[in-house]
């Protein structure tokens, strides 16, 4: 319960890409995931092997049977079981066992947005193939009654589909739009705030699903705000929901892994996962492992970068085979006017749907209406139980931000509304259940001074309205690079809208989910990299509907090399904030050239990064010997569509030689010439400078040499290479940086 409160108390930031580190406990035993070295032969023999291995640490058959909660036998060979620490240690030394990880719990990390980034309703579509595309989401469940998921006009299910869907508690079942819905809760701990079925009691999963593939719903809005047609990127595509996130506990590794396995077996084409990753190596992180197995089967995984910005080095879900998405803002904001009794007006950010009934209202500062002297500190933040109801009743309250929800506290005490002062989160609108808005520190101080300058301070908070703002810019909360794990790999990959996105919601939760809120809506505004991720997953599905045979790497390359460059001036963290730039859907359909890769390319990369070959069995099912393998070539040993050089030495010039191969997916014959942009102090050369293609799918290789003069630690410099033909521009950002020491 306390965890639930914690998650919901920061709906913007914490709900919207689920990273926690709480392990489930019970009699000193915890859940562990045990990986075996070989690919499973078949389900029955694999399950038997799992029991045999467990028996080596358990006293009896019964003990072993009771402790195992899941056998993963389809894409990879592993099991989840409840073990003591000693048993886990012992198992990790077993011959057949590759690694043993404790199960951890992660946190969850549109109308207008599609027109804004250039996927208008009139965009060219291949409806027939789009109807065969299935997007799988690992999330909080889905509301099947939403208009976004009606199946009018949908044809029969794709032939390849092997997924299932049933009637569960409070879940009316699937149709031809939602074709799969399952839930995973292997810890079996009851959750009083959730329902054991694919139904979405949170709203997050319904929102992300409708952003990817929701039908067009005309006239959608939240209380008249953000009015327009709500629709997903691929309205003709199908949705499969794998519920792995639960209201009280978050999203656990063993459930995420089971969902990946199910999605791969069911036959999804794209996986969208807006869940927090952990900075663990690529052979220990469940999301990276699950996504690798998906990639082996031709399924691209798109994931949120996280909401821990603007601190540098916070980007999550950054494996090279994952497409990592940052959040950008579109050109509108929701603001409310605050008018003080002295006639001065200010503007705050947030969504409140309340017209003032009279004006003005008396206003006091939370700090001045504390219940007693001990509660003065928490009354400043208008925290629950800190204020005197008699002094709050009938008034507006000025609060500093510590946790969201002061409007709920104020309302509970008979207060009328809240002005919240904050240094952070001033680019995304918080939804209020009373008149309310968020102001910055400068404005906050002015209001607080005014309150203390008169005996009868008064104010009015007006209903929110839309204003135009310059865009795109990267959200303050969007996690930033550099990649904390691989100095050779630029992350995040790309940016997509993730601020104030309107999409479908659940009828099972009020808009704020907090006590006293009686506001419900079919659509809601949400912000987070969680909202940006399904935009890119939708475009991956869109690209795949034109090119059903493209590999995940080719689809990713198409999305990255066609992204719109963003402004360094407006985003001081440059590529560490936005990667290749802003998602550009219609261009991604026709990239001209792609940087393609197969699973062995990634294995060569991991060997180059220094991973011992024995650990790579978690990914490919057999132990390999890195030194007897063909080495990956060039500075980063990867055919990635972006390049990043880590300038290490203080005095000498750093040199990175990047080797790349592109495949022609555009017209032939065609000739591409290189255009290079090099920042000051960096020399970039490419050889050859011209690539000519006489046929489709022809490959051409080239070398990029980056020479960088010393830069100071924590600094970065941005350049680029663009291959240009008369019809295409294939652009790769090139970043030189020096990590903070
Ligand atoms: C779920 O279904 C049960 C049984 O029909 C019902 O009593 C309960 O109110 C429903 N819960 C919600 C949140 O709708
Ligand atoms: C503040 O807003 C009110 C209501 O819109 C308006 O009447 C008033 O003139 C404004 N005051 C100033 C100083 O702009
Ligand atoms: C606070 O907001 C006001 C009005 O929107 C603006 O003029 C001011 O520059 C802001 N101050 C800071 C520190 O952001
Ligand atoms: C790995 O391969 C190298 C070179 O082929 C060989 O010398 C080495 O013994 C091998 N290591 C293992 C553990 O097999
Ligand atoms: C590419 O470069 C060649 C010479 O290197 C030139 O003849 C050709 O016109 C260039 N093409 C384009 C599209 O710029």
> 673 CA distance to ligand 5 centroid (A)?
6
Q: Quick one: 244 and 270 in the same domain?
A: yes
* 602 part of a folded domain: no
Q: Quick one: 74 and 137 in the same domain?
A: no
- pTM assigned to the model: 0.93
Single out the residue of 181, 160, 186, 201 nearest to residue 15, CA to CA.
Answer: 201
Indicate the top mutation candidate among 669, 670, 673 to test ligand 5's pocket, ranked by most ligand atoms within 8 A of CB. Answer: 673
> 463 CA distance to ligand 3 centroid (A)?
20
Q: Which of 586, 618, 647 lies at the terminal end of a domain, its last residue?
A: 586
Q: What is the pLDDT of residue 3?
A: 24
Bridge partners, 494 (sequence order):
325
Tokens of 249: 């506990």
Strand, helix or coil at 4?
helix
Known catalytic residue: 530? yes
Question: 630 in ligand 4 pocket by Cβ < 6 Å?
Answer: no
Q: Quick one: 218 and 277 in the same domain?
A: yes
> 462 CA distance to ligand 2 centroid (A)?
12
Bridge partners, 225 (sequence order):
222
613 exposed, middle or buried (CB, 10 Å; 0-12, 13-18, 19+)? Answer: middle
Tokens of 72: 């993963």
Across 50-63, b (16+ Cβ under 10 Å) vs e yields: bbebbeebbeeeee
Q: Supply the CATH number for residue 377's domain.
A: 3.50.30.30
Question: 339 in ligand 2 pocket by Cβ < 6 Å?
Answer: yes
Bridge partners, 524 (sequence order):
503
Q: What is the pLDDT of residue 741?
A: 76
My answer on whether omega of the bond before 530 falls inside 30° of 0, hence cis, is no
Which residues surround ligand 3 with Cβ inside 6 Å?
347, 440-443
Question: 170 in ligand 1 pocket by Cβ < 6 Å?
Answer: yes
Q: What is the pLDDT of residue 424?
A: 82
* 193 part of a folded domain: yes
Q: Quick one: 309 and 375 in the same domain?
A: no
* 68 part of a folded domain: yes
d(CA 387, CA 651): 59
**φ, ψ dihedrals at 96, nearest 5°:** -85, -5
Across 268-302, b (16+ Cβ under 10 Å) vs e yields: bbbbbbbbbbbeeebbbbbbbbbbbbbbbeebbbb
- Measure the N-to-C terminal CA separation of the chain; round to a whole number of Å: 40
Q: Hey, what's the torsion of the CAs at 400, 405, 407, 408, to 10 degrees?
A: -140
> Whose Cα sits closest to atom 8 in ligand 1?
170
pLDDT tens-digit readout, 4-31: 222 222 333 333 333 333 333 345 889 9
- Helical H segments across 309-379, by residue range: 376-379
d(CA 518, CA 670): 61
Question: 675 in ligand 5 pocket by Cβ < 6 Å?
Answer: no
> Atom of ligand 3 at shortest distance to CA of 440?
1
Residue 105 DSSP class: E
d(CA 540, CA 272): 10
Q: Quick one: 413 and 496 in the same domain?
A: no
- Which residue is listed with tokens 């500190």? 377
Give the count of domains, the chain.
4
* 8 part of a folded domain: no
372 exposed, middle or buried (CB, 10 Å; 0-12, 13-18, 19+)? Answer: exposed
Question: 606 in ligand 1 pocket by Cβ < 6 Å?
Answer: no
Q: Quick one: 178 and 230 in the same domain?
A: yes
Question: 311 in ligand 4 pocket by Cβ < 6 Å?
Answer: no
> 543 CA distance to ligand 5 centroid (A)?
29
Known catalytic residue: 285? no
Tokens of 68: 């195992």
CB contact set of 320 (below 8 Å; sequence gap of 6+): 486, 489, 602, 605, 638, 640
Ligand nearest to the CA of 438: 3
Q: Supply the CATH number for residue 238's domain.
A: 3.40.50.200
Q: Quick one: 413 and 551 in the same domain?
A: no
Q: Quick one: 352 and 277 in the same domain?
A: no
* 403 part of a folded domain: yes
Single out the residue of 365, 395, 391 nearest to residue 379, CA to CA.
Answer: 365
* 658 part of a folded domain: yes
Longest dimension (CA), the chain: 82
Indicate the top mutation candidate among 335, 337, 339 to test ligand 2's pocket, ranked by most ligand atoms within 8 A of CB. Answer: 339
> Whose Cα sits closest to atom 4 in ligand 4?
628
d(CA 598, CA 600): 6
Q: Quick one: 70 and 129 in the same domain?
A: no
Q: Quick one: 324 and 349 in the same domain?
A: no
**Annotated active-site residue in 204, 488, 535, 728:** 204
State the SS3 of 188-233. Answer: CCCCCCCCCCCECCCCHHHHHHHHHHCCCEEEEEECCEEEEEECCC
Strand, helix or coil at 643?
strand
* 552 part of a folded domain: yes
> 198 CA distance to ligand 1 centroid (A)?
14
Strand, helix or coil at 391?
helix
Residues of the chain with pLDDT under 50: 1-26, 110-112
d(CA 287, CA 274): 11
Q: What range does the domain containing 237 cover?
A: 112-331+475-586
Single out the residue of 713, 602, 665 nearest to residue 293, CA to CA.
Answer: 602
> Whose Cα sits closest to atom 14 in ligand 4?
625
**φ, ψ dihedrals at 644, nearest 5°:** -140, 125
Q: Quick one: 338 and 325 in the same domain?
A: no
> 467 CA distance to ligand 3 centroid (A)?
16
**Annotated active-site residue in 113, 328, 378, 530:** 530
Q: Supply the CATH number for residue 93's domain.
A: 3.30.70.80
Q: Which of 71, 102, 133 lies at the terminal end of a domain, its last residue?
A: 102
Single out the residue of 573, 703, 559 nearest to residue 641, CA to CA.
Answer: 559
Known catalytic residue: 627? no
Rg, C-alpha atoms of the chain: 26
Tokens of 434: 């009373």
Single out the residue of 613, 323, 654 nearest to residue 491, CA to CA.
Answer: 323
Q: Which of 448, 467, 486 lies at the terminal end of a domain, its last residue?
A: 467
* 618 part of a folded domain: no
> 631 CA distance to ligand 4 centroid (A)?
14
């Amino acid at each position: 319960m306390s965890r639930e409160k914690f998650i919901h108390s920061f709906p913007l930031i914490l709900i919207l890409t689920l990273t926690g580190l709480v392990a489930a406990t019970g009699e000193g035993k915890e859940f562990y995931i045990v990986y075996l070295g070989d690919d499973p032969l078949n389900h029955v023999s694999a399950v038997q092997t799992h029991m045999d291995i467990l028996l080596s640490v358990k006293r009896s058959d019964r003990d072993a049977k009771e402790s195992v909660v899941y056998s993963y036998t389809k894409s990879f060979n592993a099991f989840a079981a409840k073990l003591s620490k000693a048993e886990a240690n012992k198992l990790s030394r077993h011959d057949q066992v590759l690694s043993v990880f404790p199960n951890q719990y992660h946190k969850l990390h549109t109308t207008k947005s599609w027109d804004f980034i250039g996927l208008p309703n009139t965009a060219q579509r291949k409806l027939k193939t789009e109807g065969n595309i299935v997007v799988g989401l690992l999330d909080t469940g889905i509301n099947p009654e939403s208009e976004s998921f009606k199946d009018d006009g949908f044809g029969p299910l794709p032939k390849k589909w092997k997924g299932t869907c049933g009637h569960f508690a409070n879940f009316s079942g699937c149709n031809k739009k939602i074709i799969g819905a399952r839930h995973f809760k292997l810890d079996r701990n009851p959750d009083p705030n959730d329902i054991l079925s694919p139904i979405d009691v949170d709203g997050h999963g319904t929102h992300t699903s409708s952003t990817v593939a929701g039908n067009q719903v005309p006239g959608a809005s939240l209380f008249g705000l953000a009015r327009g047609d709500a629709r997903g990127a691929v309205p003709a595509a199908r949705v499969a929901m794998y519920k792995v996130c639960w209201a009280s506990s978050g999203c656990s590794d063993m459930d995420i892994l089971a969902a990946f396995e199910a999605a791969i077996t069911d036959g999804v084409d794209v996986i969208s996962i807006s869940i927090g990753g952990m900075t663990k190596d690529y052979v220990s992180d469940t999301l990276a492992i699950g996504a690798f197995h998906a990639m082996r089967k031709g399924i691209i995984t798109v994931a949120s970068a996280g909401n821990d910005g603007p601190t540098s080095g916070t980007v999550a879900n950054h494996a090279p085979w994952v497409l990592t998405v940052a959040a950008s803002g579109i050109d509108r904001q929701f603001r409310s006017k605050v008018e003080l009794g002295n006639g001065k007006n200010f503007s705050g950010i947030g969504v409140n749907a309340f017209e003032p009934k009279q004006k003005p209202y008396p206003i006091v500062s939370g700090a001045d209406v504390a219940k007693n002297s001990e509660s003065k500190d928490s009354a400043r933040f208008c925290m629950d139980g800190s204020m005197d109801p008699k002094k709050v009743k009938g008034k507006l309250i000025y609060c500093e931000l510590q946790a969201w929800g002061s409007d709920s506290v104020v309302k509970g005490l008979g207060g009328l509304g809240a002005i919240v002062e904050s240094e952070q989160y001033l680019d995304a609108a918080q939804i209020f259940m009373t008149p309310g808005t968020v102001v910055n520190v400068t404005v906050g101080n002015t209001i607080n001074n005014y309150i203390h300058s008169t005996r009868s301070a008064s104010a009015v908070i007006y209903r929110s309205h839309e204003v135009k703002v310059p865009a795109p810019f990267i959200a303050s909360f969007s996690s930033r690079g550099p990649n904390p794990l691989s100095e050779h790999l630029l992350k995040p990959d790309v940016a997509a809208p993730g601020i104030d996105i309107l999409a479908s919601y659940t009828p099972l939760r009020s808009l704020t989910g907090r006590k006293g809120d009686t506001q419900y809506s079919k659509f809601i505004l949400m912000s987070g990299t969680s909202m940006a991720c399904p935009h890119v997953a939708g475009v991956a599905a869109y690209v795949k509907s034109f090119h059903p045979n493209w590999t995940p790497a080719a689809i990713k390359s198409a999305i990255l090399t066609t992204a719109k460059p963003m402004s360094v001036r407006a985003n001081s963290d440059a590529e560490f904030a936005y990667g290749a730039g802003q998602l550009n859907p219609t261009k991604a359909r026709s990239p001209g050239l792609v940087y393609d890769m197969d699973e062995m390319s990634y294995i060569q990369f991991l060997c180059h990064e220094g991973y011992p070959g024995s650990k790579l069995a978690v990914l490919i099912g057999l132990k390999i010997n890195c030194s007897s393998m063909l080495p990956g070539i060039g500075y980063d040993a990867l055919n990635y569509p972006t390049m990043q050089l880590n300038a290490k030495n203080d005095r000498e010039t750093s040199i990175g030689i990047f080797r790349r191969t592109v495949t022609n997916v555009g017209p032939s014959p065609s000739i591409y010439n290189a255009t290079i942009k090099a920042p000051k102090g960096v020399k970039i050369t490419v050889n050859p400078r011209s690539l000519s293609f006489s046929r489709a799918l022809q490959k051409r290789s080239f070398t990029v040499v980056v020479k960088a003069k010393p830069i100071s630690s924590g600094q970065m410099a941005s350049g680029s290479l663009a291959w240009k033909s008369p019809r295409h521009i294939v652009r790769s950002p090139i970043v030189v940086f020096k990590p903070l020491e």
